[in-house]
Amino acid sequence: MKQKRVEISDPRAIRALAHPARQRIIDELYSGRVLTATECAELAGLTPSATSYHLRALERWGIIERAEASGDGRERPWRALGTGLTISSQSEGSGRLASQAMMRANVDRLMEQFEELPADDPWDAISSFNRTRLWLTHDEATELTRRMADLIDEYRKGRTATSHPDGTRAVTTLAAFVPTGAPPQGG
């Protein structure tokens, strides 16, 4: 199965993603699940009609799509357009604010997951948060970003929420690369 990352760079699309209900829906659909609007509504804590509005907005921005109709054909489910979603940071204006809102929502959700993990969970030992400062050239930073995305995709192995071997468990990853300090002279 070919891994396909959907990349979002349009500030309007990024703003559309920042809504908490949409975040919850995206998280489930990008885990490999195929869900109806009613199932998405239950996850997001919204009415099915409000959820349908959010699903259509995500479809407009090329983030999700309708899947084949169910057996009775009354309600068509939704699915992700890829196996991963990348938000390209924006450097100015509303795109920057939208990117920051998206990043904050993802970090907040990750922190909630740390808090929800019981201390006696046998998998707790693999929980980690690694913060490192590296001194890299622009080319090195670009290469590191690409290699980290490739490594995560390698471990994905085509597994989804509905198709994975016994003994596996969902593990959330969040890789962030943030240049700090002033740019070097000349670039």
The tens place of each residue's pLDDT in the chain, 187 residues long, gives 345 888 888 878 887 787 888 988 998 999 889 999 999 999 999 999 999 999 999 999 999 999 987 666 677 899 999 888 877 766 666 677 777 777 787 788 888 888 888 989 998 888 888 888 999 999 999 999 899 988 988 888 888 888 899 999 989 888 888 888 888 887 6
| CATH fold group of domain 5-156 | Arc Repressor Mutant, subunit A (1.10.10)
Confidence at residue 2, expressed as pLDDT on a 0 to 100 scale = 46
Domain range annotation of the chain: 5-156
pLDDT digit string, tens, across residues 41-65:
999 999 999 999 999 999 999 999 9
Confidence at residue 89, expressed as pLDDT on a 0 to 100 scale = 63
Give the integer Cα–Cα distance in Å for 111 and 107. Answer: 6
Beta-bridged to residue 66, according to DSSP, are 78
Give the integer Cα–Cα distance in Å for 148 and 84. Answer: 13
- 64 touches 34 (CB < 8 A): no
Residues near 68 by Cβ (< 8 Å), separated by ≥ 6?
Answer: 76, 77
Confidence at residue 168, expressed as pLDDT on a 0 to 100 scale = 93
Give the integer Cα–Cα distance in Å for 81 and 92. Answer: 27
Confidence at residue 102, expressed as pLDDT on a 0 to 100 scale = 75
What is the reported pTM? 0.70
Q: Would you state the structure tokens that stand for residue 109, as one six-digit string?
A: 């959700």
Confidence at residue 184, expressed as pLDDT on a 0 to 100 scale = 87
Residue 104, φ and ψ in degrees, nearest 5: -60, -45
